[in-house]
Amino acid sequence: MAFGAKTNERPGTRAVARDVRTSAYKAREVLDLIRNEPCGRALEILQFSERDIARVIQKVVESAMANAEHNDQIPQDELYISACYADEGPTLKRWRPRARGRATRIRKRTCHITVIVSRFSATDLERLRAAEAAGTGSSSRSAVEARRRRVQKSRDSAAARAEAEEHDHDHDHDHDHDHDHDESTVASAADDAAAEVDGEVPEVGASTDESTEEN
């Protein structure tokens, strides 16, 4: 009996998230929504999904797309979700106290999420381009471009933030230097004032002695 290709032998570029703290059942419900969908459409589905696991799956899809673009030189707007599945991971056992000295087991499930992306065939890609040009297809390319703009914007903001922090650090260093200079100036002025006071004391004493002698 012939079976399909094994999960570790399927063609395409993959990304895996291991030991995700959720059950495989919950992950599979979301993975069923994006299977065989263009990557741009899959990101839109995950973005508006109400399941918390959709955020994790979205990161896995973006990682697989980045791997395909950087390692295999495949444009992201030509990718689709060729396979996605969730395998059960190790289960953490915990205990909950109950009545009459009993205890019930708590099973904290984990899973491994795998997403495989592949390139559209020439025929499917041409049909997809025609549908997008006619305005009847999915907005895969626009979604990919929007994601690329968001990534670039976040990178620019991070660079600007780092530059601002470096400028603030230099400003604080200059301010500390000026503060030390002001403190040294104040200290020297106080020393001069003390020296003047010390110089005036003998003069007062001398005048007192002179008045005593005259008397």
pLDDT given at position 173: 62
Token representation of residue 37: 């969908």
Radius of gyration of the chain (CA): 36
The pLDDT assigned to 9 comes to 72
Low-confidence ranges of the chain (pLDDT < 70): 1-8, 135-148, 169-215
**What structural domains and CATH numbers belong to the chain?**
9-138 (3.90.470.10)
Using CA of residue 175, residue 180, residue 183, residue 185, what is the dihedral sign? negative
Tokens, residue 100: 């009459």
C-alpha–C-alpha distance, residues 41 and 136, integer Å: 13
Q: What is the DSSP string of 77-142?
A: GGEEEEEEEEEE-PPEEEEEE-GGG-EEEEEE--EEEEEEEEEPPHHHHHHHHHHHHHT-S--HHH
Question: Tell me, what's the pLDDT at 157?
Answer: 86
Task: Say what the pLDDT of residue 61 is.
Answer: 95
Q: What is the mean pLDDT of the chain?
A: 80
> Which pLDDT value is given to residue 11?
82
CA distance linking residue 78 with residue 92, whole number of Å: 40
pTM surpassing 0.85? no
**According to the model, what pLDDT value does residue 204 have?**
46
Looking up tokens 């060729």, which residue turns up?
A: 82
Residue 177 has a pLDDT of: 58
3-state secondary structure of 182: helix
> Which has the closest alpha carbon to 108: 16, 24, 18?
24
Could you report the per-residue pLDDT of 17-32, keeping only the tens digit for each? 999 999 999 999 999 9
Q: What DSSP line would sit under 18-29, residue for residue?
A: EEESS-HHHHHH
For residue 128, the model assigns a pLDDT of 79
- Tell how far CA 39 is from the center of its chain: 21
